[in-house]
Amino acid sequence: MREIQTDKIIEVVAKLCKDANYYLPQDVMDAFKDGLNKEESEVGKAIFHQLIENAEIAKQDEVPICQDTGFTVVFLELGQEVRIVGGELYEAIEEGVRQGYTEGYLRKSILKDPIRGENTGDNTPAVIYTDIVSGDKLKIIIAPKGGGSENMSEVWMGTPAAGAEGVKNFVVERVRKSGGNPCPPIVVGVGIGGTFDKCAQLAKRALLRPIGSDNKDPFYADMEKELLERINNLGIGPAGLGGRITALAVHIEVFPRHIATFPVAVNIQCHACRHKETII
């Protein structure tokens, strides 16, 4: 068994929280530049220039890309040959989030109670998903999720008869209803199958895929391309002010389903598609 100290986990998580909010991934920056070349609206082109400039300033000055520094969503891949020592894994994750958001002067947005409120003051607790995998490593992914885009997400419990067309119509309509609210150009995560909760998790995980990557199954890769074209034909455009590029990508992830169910989830991500990862 390989031992990993919780102090190391705390240190890594704190850094990832800051880095995810300061440095936009290169695939997103490349998508901005590609979108700028494809955008037909002059206003849309100007917005793309602003997005690129904003991301460059955030990187240079180490300040948040957006004032909404998000709910801290954590994806863990824990090797089954790893032993966590010095404390509990989830407590270490929470402490890392606490330190990262405090040291990085990142906005704290989490309320203790969903109805009665009161800010926790340190952006904890985090939302943590854990997969047990082979090996003796621990992979940590930090994905801050802003409230504006999260509000535009939805789960649809369709009927099996809905089929592929039903899925595509639901996704496009969800984006159409969202308009400019999720700060386009957006990334659209789609989860199909599983259960009510599983499809939503799939949709959020889909946002971690590099922009420009295709689903490994040609059937779903073709569906992603069709959805992207249909969404960009809506005319919502950058910042919702009209234009050619409403979405940078559509990513679909799937899971087996029950014969009597047909769950589909859309998790929309704003243009600041933030996530950082490391392996210990």
Give the model confidence (pLDDT) of 149-162 as tens digits. 999 999 999 999 99
Mean pLDDT of the chain: 97
DSSP code string of 10-46? HHHHHHHHHHHHH---HHHHHHHHHHHHH---HHHHH
Share of the chain above pLDDT 70, in %: 100
Tokens 């709910």 locate to 71
In this prediction, residue 31 carries a pLDDT of: 97
Query: pLDDT, tens digit, for every residue of 87-127?
Result: 999 999 999 999 999 999 999 999 999 999 999 999 999 99
In this prediction, residue 268 carries a pLDDT of: 98
Amino acid at 143: A
In this prediction, residue 267 carries a pLDDT of: 98
In this prediction, residue 21 carries a pLDDT of: 98
Query: pLDDT, tens digit, for every residue of 50-94?
Result: 999 999 999 999 999 999 999 999 999 999 999 999 999 999 999
In this prediction, residue 125 carries a pLDDT of: 98
What is the C-alpha separation between 259 and 189, in angstroms, rounded? Answer: 23
Query: pLDDT, tens digit, for every residue of 27-57?
Result: 999 999 999 999 999 999 999 999 999 999 9
Mean per-residue pLDDT, 193-219:
97
Mean per-residue pLDDT, 245-269:
98
In this prediction, residue 3 carries a pLDDT of: 96
Parallel, antiparallel, or unpaired: how do β-strands 154-158 and 262-269 relate? antiparallel
In this prediction, residue 165 carries a pLDDT of: 97
In this prediction, residue 272 carries a pLDDT of: 95
Mean per-residue pLDDT, 237-257:
97
Mean per-residue pLDDT, 201-223:
97
Share of the chain above pLDDT 90, in %: 99
Q: How many CB atoms lie within 10 A of CB 226?
A: 14
Q: What tokens appear for 68 in the block? A: 């909404």
In this prediction, residue 7 carries a pLDDT of: 97
In this prediction, residue 190 carries a pLDDT of: 98
In this prediction, residue 85 carries a pLDDT of: 97
In this prediction, residue 229 carries a pLDDT of: 97
DSSP code string of the chain? -EEEEHHHHHHHHHHHHHHHHH---HHHHHHHHHHHHH---HHHHHHHHHHHHHHHHHHHHT--SSS---EEEEEEEEETTEEEESS-HHHHHHHHHHHHHHHTTPPP--EEETTTEEE-SS-PSPEEEEEEESSS-EEEEEEEE-HHHHTT-EEEEE-GGGHHHHHHHHHHHHHHHHTTTT-SSEEEEEEEEE-HHHHHHHHHHHTTSPTT---SSHHHHHHHHHHHHHHHTS---GGGSS-S-SEEEEEEEEEEE-TT-EEEEEEEE-S----EEEE-
What is the sign, positive or negative, of the torsion defined by CA atoms of 189, 237, 66, 152? negative
Query: pLDDT, tens digit, for every residue of 132-187?
Result: 999 999 999 999 999 999 999 999 999 999 999 999 999 999 999 999 999 999 99
Q: What tokens appear for 136 in the block? A: 């003796």
